[in-house]
Chain A
Amino acid sequence: MAKGVWIVAEQREGAFRKISFELASTARKLADELGDEVCAVLVGSGVEGIAGELGKYGVDKVYVADDAIFEPYTTDAHAAAVAKIVKEKDPAILLLGASAQGKDLSSRLVGKLATGMATDCTDLRLDGGKLVAFRPMYAGKCFGEIMISSFPQMASLRPNVFSAVENAKAGAVEKFDAGIDAGQLKTKVLEVQKETSGKVDLTEANLIVSGGRGMQGPDGYSVLEELAGVLGATVGASRAAVDAGWRPQTDQVGQTGKVVSPNLYVACGISGAIQHLAGMSSSKVIVAINKDSEAPIFSKADYGIVDDLFKVVPELAKECKKLLG
């Protein structure tokens, strides 16, 4: 009988990603309701030392596969390791992050474990001991309630939506041998090109300042960069701005770009095409600054200013600097 709420913790270069603590806290809540244990799987190289940190967020036990072959991440090595321990211990629920790595790993695990998964969930609950996952579909134009009839019941959690709450448990560390022969690994990471800007990725950002066609060109973004600098925010863009070549592909928010859920999303010169609204409407607070009072973005905004963004945004940056200074 499948039992226990499990998470797969995500780390990069020996430091946990924030999503790992969000996963741990969410699993703790579910496990308390079920009267079960929370276990984590941690796969990496030289990671045994950090494993115990998960205890702080409610993890009872951490299964660690620590080997040089796990760094950097490859699907083959990590999926094989997680699948091995999950098949052996048979958890009822298995949660991963819906990050780039978590999506890659979780989907491969669905294949390996021949089970079902709800992707990119924004809420989870239990109904008669079974997991019910709530997730956006059509980029948030509607939502679905998903139930999984096989074990483990898998879900990936959208980063930045579930809160990480300290709730100290044992966090006992147990190493396991993933039994992987380097010869069976097919893919190889040849190069890692890190973004040197050091900016937080849109999907993980708490604050986003985003610009659209109203920015009038690539140079217009300097006012947004300035405001973002004051707030510690990440700059995003609409599809129109990306397609015009004003901003890189990685900055695009929307149905064919990134789906974001920051605490604050400031939309500047963005009219609010439905495919853009789909990508940002799960933001907690939305601000719209646009000359056109009829722009659809105002229908989603908590606060709106109808005016020229090139006049408002620099003043907003000054005011925020005063408040935060």
Chain B
Amino acid sequence: MNIIACVKQVPDTETLIKVKTDGSGIEEGGIKWVMNPYDEFGVEEALRLKEKNGGEVTIVTLGPARAMESIRTALAMGADKGIHIDDASLNNGDAYTTAAALAAAIKTVPYDLIFCGQRAIDDDSGQVGSILAELLDLPQVTLVTKVEVAGSSVKAMRAIEGAQLVIESPLPCVLTAQKGLNEPRYASLPGIMKAKKKPVDIKDAAALGVTASDKAKVVKFVPPPARPPGKIIAGDDPTAKAAQLAKLLREEAKVL
């Protein structure tokens, strides 16, 4: 069973995001870059399926030179090879551009199943997996928390508001990973050593025959709206403080 896992390199969740003064982007200095946590669930699931069913796991990423670190991390976890789409013209493209580039790269390798994270925690767009599925004419199941492959189909658990759905799809298909799918492994030291020798194919836009589009463009980045300073309810008696809070919530904030 050949599996693709798409990954993106993003700032770690503890990163403080600073907007550039001209609003053209965020300050990238000092950021600790990691593999998008949702993509990591996809990589882990791909590895578990490979361990059970055999085959190869291919990691596909789009990003600048530093994004290679995320490919090496996935290879160290146990993936077999990588494709790094590295082209400055595609780096700040919209979701459609990213999906088109990933689709073009994926078409060059055999696959039975594709994993994406349900969203990247940087732009929070959550579109790439579905657009990719559309461009490859594949079915999709998004927000997946459990995967069972049986023969030529997959059963996936999908979490929606107030319910869990069990959805069956024929293979190949695109699954987008949600938290709860698994607990990703850490790369072992021998894994890290082996990863250095695993093949990674570097491709640019011309090689893939794709061009960037800016159907959706971030025209301006802005810091979050500031919140006015709050009130600390003083005193030593928890009961009195609780009573005052309840009163404020009802009479001043009017939320009760």
Contacts and interface: CB of A to CB of B under 8 A. Distances in A.
Interface of A: 72, 74-76, 99-101, 103-104, 106-108, 110-112, 114-120, 132, 135-150, 186-195, 199-201, 203-204, 207, 231, 249-250, 252, 255-257, 263-264, 273-275, 278, 281, 284-288, 293, 298, 300-308, 311-313, 315-316, 318-320, 322-324
B160 A117 contact: no
A297 B160 CA distance: 29
A293 B234 CA distance: 11
B230 A119 contact: no
B13 A255 contact: yes
A142 B223 contact: yes
B241 A201 contact: no
A285 B13 contact: no
Nearest to A203: B161
15 contacts: A101-B160, A111-B99, A147-B216, A148-B215, A187-B139, A190-B166, A194-B162, A249-B180, A255-B13, A287-B245, A302-B227, A305-B238, A305-B245, A306-B232, A324-B256
Contact of B223 (A115, A143, A319): A143
A187 B167 contact: yes
Interface string B165-185: 111111001000001100000
B192 to A, nearest CB: 25
B85 to A, nearest CB: 18
A119 B124 contact: yes
A314 to B, nearest CB: 8
Contacts of A207: 255
Contacts, number: 276
Interface of B: 11, 13-17, 19, 26, 37-38, 94-96, 99, 121-127, 129-135, 139-143, 145, 155, 158-170, 173, 179-180, 214-225, 227-228, 230-233, 238-239, 241-243, 245-250, 253, 255-256
Contacts of B230: 286, 288, 298, 300-304
Contacts of B129: 107
Given A143-B222, A194-B162, A305-B233, A312 B242 contact: yes
A31 to B, nearest CB: 21
A192 B165 contact: yes
Nearest to A263: B255
Given A104-B140, A273-B14, 14 more contacts: A99-B160, A100-B158, A100-B159, A108-B140, A111-B99, A186-B139, A187-B141, A189-B165, A193-B163, A252-B179, A303-B249, A307-B241, A315-B239, A318-B242
